[in-house]
Every structure is written in C-alpha cells, then in structure tokens.
C-alpha cells in the first residue's frame, strides 16, 4: 500500500514556442495538461490502477511562464475515497540557468480508479507515515478549505 510520500511526483517541461500563446508565455491549456498528467500518475501510484480525471477544483494561474523557462509540476495524493483519489497539484516557473523557482499555478484534482473493464474500482486507504507527509496533507486540506470558502 502506498503512503502519501510514495505518491509525490515531480516533472519538468521546458516551455517551447509551440507551447506558448501570443504573449510568449506558456499557454494555460498546456500547463493544465501537464498538471493533469502528473496528477494522474500520482493517483495511479496510490490506487495501483489506471485513473481518469473526474473533476478539477478551481484552478488559479498566479504568474505566467515565459518561453524558455521550465514548468515544474508537483503532485501528491492527499485523500482517498472508495474509488477516488484527490491530488494537490502545483506548478512552478523555474529559471533553467539559476534554478530560481516561483509558484505559478495550483489546483486540486479528483481522479477515479478504473479497472480493466473501464468501471470504477476500489482504492486502498491512504496512509501518512511521516511528519513531511502530514505537513503536505495538512497543506492540501487547508488549500481545499480556503478554495471552498471563496
């Protein structure tokens, strides 16, 4: 059974001209796609099954990411239901020369585990076995609460 930290996944994509909008920054749809892919990998790591996107909570784009910079996406599962897995997903702009990082985007996604027959299938309970895992889970729950309060 995977723990919360086992579901932590980070991936990088360099923003190329074909990823950009007419302002020379990453198109929001590309950032959302990268977040969805990394979030699904995190959910699958927990579920042990393929997972599909069920919902995306409010998505906030705080800062643009210029062409040539890197979009770092981090995701981890923080809650599991009967067949669903919630993941906190954040994106950061990273300067490829200095490694300087700034958060640009955040959201919570819900994924549903599906079996070989394409039907929802049960997922295991999500466990938290470290202080870091507890901090990550608490941060995700706090962000979800703040989002729902708006």
CATH number, residue 71: 3.10.129.10
What is the value of pTM for the model shown?
0.93
- Confidence check: pLDDT of 1 > 90: no
The string over 52-73, giving b where at least 16 C-beta atoms fall within 10 Å of a residue's C-beta and e elsewhere, is eeeeebebeeeebbebebbbbb
Q: What is the DSSP letter of 6?
A: G
Over residues 44-100, the pLDDT tens digits come to: 999 999 999 999 988 989 999 999 999 999 999 999 999 999 999 999 999 999 999
Domains of the chain: total: 1
Q: State the Cα–Cα distance between residues 143 and 91, nearest whole angstrom.
A: 15
Q: Domain range spanning residue 55?
A: 5-149
Over residues 25-51, the pLDDT tens digits come to: 999 999 999 999 999 999 999 999 999
């Amino acid at each position: 059974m995977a723990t919360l930290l086992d579901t932590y996944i980070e991936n990088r994509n360099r923003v190329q001209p074909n990823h950009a909008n007419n302002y020379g920054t990453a198109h929001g749809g590309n950032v959302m796609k990268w977040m969805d892919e990394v979030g699904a990998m995190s959910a699958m790591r927990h579920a042990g099954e393929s997972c599909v996107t069920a919902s995306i909570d409010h998505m906030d784009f705080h800062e643009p990411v210029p062409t040539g910079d890197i979009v770092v996406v981090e995701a981890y599962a923080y809650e599991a239901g009967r067949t669903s897995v919630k993941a906190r997903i954040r994106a950061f702009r990273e300067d490829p020369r200095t490694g300087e990082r700034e958060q640009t985007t955040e959201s919570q996604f819900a994924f549903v585990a599906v079996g070989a027959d394409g039907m929802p299938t049960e997922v295991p309970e999500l466990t938290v076995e470290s202080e870091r895992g507890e901090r990550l889970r608490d941060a995700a729950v706090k962000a979800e609460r703040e989002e729902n309060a708006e």
